[in-house]
Amino acid sequence: MKELAIEDEGDEDGAFAVRDSSVPVHEDPQVEEPKTIATQEPVGNGAETDATATTSFVAADKFSVKESSGAAVVDIHDEARRSPSLVTSSLRSRGDAGDIEASEGRMLRDKQPTAAVTLGPAALNGSRRYVVDGLISDIKCKILSALVHVAGERGDGYHRNVNPHTEAEEFFGLTLSRTGLADMLRLVLRVTSVAKQNIEQHFELQRPLYFSFTHLVCRTAKPGPYLQHINGVPVEYYDTRPPGDLSHVVHVDNCILYGPGECLQRPPAYTFRDYSAILYLNDDFEGGEFVFTDDPQAKAVQSSVTPKCGRMVAFSAGPENPHGVKAVRRGSRCALALWFTHDAKHRDKDRILAETLLNKIKLGEIKVK
């Protein structure tokens, strides 16, 4: 299938850690030549008007773009066209659809909760890390969780490997370019902008901060038996989850972690990442705690964060903040994973395209078919 995406370079809780002499591999989608729309779009921070870059739309899984009587037309594929109604159906089945206009698949505006920092560096036993609660409302959490279950891709970001971290969990992900209809895309952009603003204010950043990658993800516990790997070789089946098995290995987001105090800042690590954040969407599962630790087995941890709707853990992406995720023992753990950079060259191209698309739809320059 053709993609709107330019890059697909992330996973939920970070990038690289050495395990079994290998580094997690991320999918690099095939990029097609730009199809019909080329426009000058702002690039920058805040209002993002300090520079410009040429952006082009390409055909995608969710969108087809073509010229019609001088105006571009976006033809939404059937699967994406159904996604709002499928999300609504999913919410309604759980009794959560009261704030959704089912007829048009649009979210009614709900009140923004009051966000408050609940844990700082001292409580988290480290530096340049914090936890904020109440960043988004319950209904937004429910919509985003339902969206990734409805429209997410199995193994997204890992060459469609649905078990990239452990045989005991399935991984589903959704990037901006695959989000589908404008209402859902608009919601993701709005929520992530709130997260970015909170990080900028909390760390009192004086330099421009840009989105580097955005990933809506769910990790779902699988029933046994489980196959254990040693040095990449399958060796034994377990009826219960292997002791010490993690949902995500201990790692650092912008360097390759070899051990306590040893982190090599070079490719294939995403060395341009400066800040990271995980915005949680649910708590109806067991396990899945986020931990700050430099212990590869995560037996000794500096601090632990229990996910719940609207809670975000944010931190600088360097070797001062190694982290991992405890095993998800039951249910599905969903989150919006965000990475940021001070380097404008590594701005999230998917986001530029998404913002451009929504702006052109609003101005009537693009019609949705």
- Catalytic positions, written as ranges: 333
Give the number of other Cβ atoms within 10 Å of residue 159's Cβ.
11
Based on its alpha-carbon atoms, the radius of gyration of the chain, rounded to whole angstroms, reads 20
Structure tokens at 163: 């078990």
Q: CB under 8 Å to 255, separation ≥6 — which residues?
A: 16, 263, 264, 265, 266, 269, 271, 318, 319
Alpha helices of 235-319 — where are they, by DSSP H?
A: none
Which residues, in sequence order, are bridge partners of residue 215? 337
Short-list 145, 109, 158, CA closest to 10? 158
Short-list 350, 192, 338, CA closest to 274? 338
Short-list 141, 169, 176, CA closest to 155? 169
Short-list 189, 155, 115, CA closest to 355? 189
